[in-house]
């Protein structure tokens, strides 16, 4: 009998949620997603030190002899996620997601400029923008940035998405893909209620199911990629979702598991559901966001967490500048 992972691949595009290139080689996903925390973790792994060092050396060369370690590290920081993305694209047949600096989540113009720069770096390396998804936080400002970028042929992946209002706004903006978080929603409800949830009762599973059904019922082109899983049970409950991005540990568990995997999400069944359409503008978005404690808390927490990971990475790069063999400019 085929493993659960093999059966899942028959109904859902399986994506690897990691910056660990060796794990990607092992599980052979179609696509791969990264985020600031994953890139920061991978950058600390000895096996990827050469990628980090190459980026730092190039940044030093570009910055000139008078640049400080801090300036070199700041320049390298802007290229590191792309450097990992390029390596990942040598392995996978599909697309890689690269994230805009989370500290720009409430700045539409700077998010657009950063996204264009990321695409320019990939294209300079000979990689088509068709193989890149730009990740943006699902703030109103991030969604508006994605709307403009999509018109330029730059495909976007809306992340830190916890509520239906974020999903509807993203679909109305005609973004390519959204990443509703499952496990982080579960975390919030467990903490808030003191209860545990499993299977179809999992609030994260229910959230993604609601979004998926809404999209398919109204015929939106934006695709749904469930993310942030805590266990394989959540993944099994979302079998049939357009895409699922899964950490290597859970991919391993699914590969080792036997049994029959039933399809849970189906576009044809979603068409038959009775769902009320919600017109979306900024006032409605803000009202729904304020009324959703979970989405408000988790979006804020997610942006702060990714921002902290970026700050830690910048410090790590600055430290590494002074350690690499080539002489560096004095501070």
Distance of CA 201 to the CA centre of its chain: 25
DSSP H/E element including 122: helix 108-124
Query: What DSSP character marks residue 181?
Result: B
Does 120 reside within a domain? yes
Q: Is 161 left (phi over 0), alpha (psi -120 to 50) or beta?
A: beta
**pLDDT value for 328:** 45
Does 110 reside within a domain? yes
Contacts of residue 58, defined as CB under 8 A and 6 or more positions apart, other chains included, come to 76, 79
What Å distances lie between residue 183 and 39, 155, 188, 245, CA to CA?
20, 25, 9, 12
d(CA 167, CA 228): 16
Does 124 reside within a domain? yes
CATH, residue 157: 3.20.20.70
Look up the domain containing 182 and give its range: 4-321
What pairs with residue 33 in β-bridges?
Answer: 17, 97
Residue with tokens 């590191």: 80
**pLDDT value for 327:** 53
Does 329 reside within a domain? no
Does 327 reside within a domain? no
- Asked if residue 240 lies in contact with residue 247, where contact means CB atoms within 8 angstroms, the answer is no
- Asked if residue 103 lies in contact with residue 142, where contact means CB atoms within 8 angstroms, the answer is no
Tell me the catalytic residues. Answer: 135
Hey, is 86 helix, strand or coil? helix
Does 19 reside within a domain? yes
d(CA 14, CA 4): 12
Q: Which two tokens stand for residue 125?
A: 């390396």
d(CA 184, CA 179): 12
**pLDDT value for 280:** 98
Does 331 reside within a domain? no
Residue with tokens 């009202």: 287
Does 205 reside within a domain? yes
d(CA 246, CA 235): 8
Compute the chain's Rg from CA coordinates. 20
Domain count, the chain: 1
d(CA 71, CA 61): 12
What Å distances lie between residue 87 and 50, 60, 93, 251, 316, CA to CA?
12, 21, 12, 20, 21
d(CA 297, CA 189): 11
**pLDDT value for 65:** 86
Farthest-apart Cα atoms in the chain, separation: 67
Hey, is 279 helix, strand or coil? coil
**pLDDT value for 36:** 87
Exposed, middle or buried, 235 (CB in 10 Å: 0-12/13-18/19+)? buried
- Per-residue pLDDT 10s for the chain (331 aa) are 899 999 999 999 999 999 999 999 999 999 999 988 899 999 999 999 999 999 999 999 999 989 999 999 989 998 999 999 999 999 999 999 999 999 999 999 999 999 999 999 999 999 999 999 999 999 999 999 999 999 999 999 999 999 999 999 999 999 999 999 999 999 999 999 999 999 999 999 999 999 999 999 999 999 999 999 999 999 999 999 999 999 999 999 999 999 999 999 999 999 999 999 999 999 999 999 999 999 999 999 999 999 999 999 999 999 999 888 455 454 4
Please report how many Cα atoms fall inside a 13 Å half-sphere around the Cα of residue 270, on the Cβ side.
19
Distance of CA 16 to the CA centre of its chain: 10
């Amino acid at each position: 009998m085929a493993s659960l992972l093999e059966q899942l691949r028959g109904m859902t595009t399986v994506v690897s949620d990691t910056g660990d290139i060796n794990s990607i080689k092992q599980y052979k996903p179609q696509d791969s997603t990264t985020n600031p925390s994953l890139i920061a973790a991978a950058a600390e792994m000895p096996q990827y030190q050469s990628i980090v060092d190459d980026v730092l050396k190039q940044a030093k060369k570009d910055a000139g002899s008078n640049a400080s370690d801090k300036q070199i590290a700041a320049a390298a920081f802007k290229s590191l996620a792309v450097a990992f993305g390029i390596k990942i694209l040598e392995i996978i047949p599909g697309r890689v997601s690269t994230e805009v600096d989370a500290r720009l989540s409430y700045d539409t113009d700077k998010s657009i400029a950063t996204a264009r720069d990321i695409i320019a770096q990939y294209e300079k390396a000979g990689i088509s923008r068709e193989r890149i998804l730009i990740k943006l936080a699902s703030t109103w400002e991030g969604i508006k940035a994605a709307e403009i970028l999509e018109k330029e042929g730059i495909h976007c992946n809306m992340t830190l998405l916890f509520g239906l209002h974020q999903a509807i706004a993203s679909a109305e903006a005609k973004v390519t893909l959204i990443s509703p978080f499952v496990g982080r929603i579960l975390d919030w409800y467990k903490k808030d209620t003191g209860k545990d949830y499993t299977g179809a009762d999992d609030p994260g599973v229910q959230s993604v199911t609601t979004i998926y059904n809404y999209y398919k019922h109204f015929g939106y082109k934006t695709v749904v990629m469930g993310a942030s899983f805590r266990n394989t049970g959540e993944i099994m409950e979302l079998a049939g979702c357009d895409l699922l991005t899964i950490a290597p540990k859970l991919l391993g568990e699914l590969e080792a598991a036997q049994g029959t995997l039933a399809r849970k999400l189906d576009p044809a069944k979603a068409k038959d559901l009775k769902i009320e359409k919600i017109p979306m503008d900024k006032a409605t978005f803000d009202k729904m966001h304020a009324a959703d404690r979970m989405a408000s808390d988790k979006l804020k927490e997610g942006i702060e967490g990714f921002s902290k990971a970026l700050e830690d990475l910048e410090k790590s790069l600055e430290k590494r500048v002074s350690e690499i063999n080539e002489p560096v400019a004095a501070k």
